[in-house]
Amino acid sequence: MVLIDHDFDDRIHDEIYVVPISTKFREPLSPHHVLVHDRRGYDPRTGLSEPCVAKCDCIKLMPKRKIVRRFGYLADEILERIEAAIDRLDDPGDP
Domains annotated for the chain, with CATH where assigned, are 2-90 (2.30.30.110)
- Taking the C-alpha atoms of residue 12 and residue 89, their distance in angstroms, rounded to an integer, is 27
pLDDT of the residue at 46: 92
- List pLDDT tens digits, range 47-93: 999 999 999 999 999 998 998 888 899 999 999 999 999 999 987 66
- List pLDDT tens digits, range 6-45: 665 666 678 888 999 999 999 999 999 999 999 999 999 9
Pick from 58, 3, 2, 70: which is nearest to 25 by CA? 58
